[in-house]
Amino acid sequence: MTNENETLSEVYQKRTFWERNRMSDGYLLKKVIWNVFIKICRALLLFGMCFMILQPIIYKICISFMAEEDLYNSIVIYIPEHFTLANYKLAADFMSFGESLRNTIIISLTVALLQIAMCTLVGYGFARFNFPLKKVLFACVILVIVIPPQTISTALYLHFRYFDIAGIFKALTGNAINLRDSVLPYYLMSAGCMGLKSGLYIFLMRQFFRNVPKELEEAAYVDGCGILKTFIRIMLPEAKPILTSCFLFSFVWQWTDIFYSKTFLGNIKLLSRQLSMIGDRLNAYVKTTLGDAGGASLAYTKCIVSTGTLMVIVPLFILYMFAQKGFVESISNTGIKM
96 touches another protein (CB under 8 A): no
Identify the residue among 104, 249, 264, 311 touching another protein (CB under 8 A).
249
72 Cβ contact partners less than 8 Å away, ≥ 6 residues apart: 297, 299
**Stretch in the footprint of another protein (CB under 8 A) among 11-19, 68-76, 91-99, 306-314:** 306-314
145 touches another protein (CB under 8 A): yes
Identify the residue among 54, 58, 61, 77 touching another protein (CB under 8 A).
54
Q: Minimum distance from CB of 207 to another protein (Å)?
A: 9
**By C-alpha distance, which of 135, 326, 162, 180 is closest to 244?**
326
77 touches another protein (CB under 8 A): no
216 touches another protein (CB under 8 A): no
Q: What is the DSSP letter of 85?
A: S
Q: Minimum distance from CB of 129 to another protein (Å)?
A: 3
88-93: long-range contacts, CB 8 A cutoff, minimum separation 24: 88/64, 88/307, 88/311, 90/282, 90/285, 90/304, 90/307, 91/278, 91/304, 91/307, 91/308, 91/311, 92/311
Q: Which is nearer to another protein, 65 or 264 (CB)?
A: 264
192 touches another protein (CB under 8 A): yes
**Stretch in the footprint of another protein (CB under 8 A) among 48-56, 70-78, 85-93, 101-109:** 48-56
Q: Minimum distance from CB of 16 to another protein (Å)?
A: 27
C-alpha angle 154/185/242, rounded to 5°? 105
Of residues 100-139, which lie at the interface with another protein (CB under 8 A)?
Answer: 118, 121-122, 124-126, 128-132, 134, 137
φ/ψ bin of 75: left (φ > 0), alpha (ψ from -120 to 50), beta (otherwise)? alpha
Q: Minimum distance from CB of 213 to another protein (Å)?
A: 15
162 touches another protein (CB under 8 A): yes
CA dist., res. 177 & res. 160, Å (int) = 8
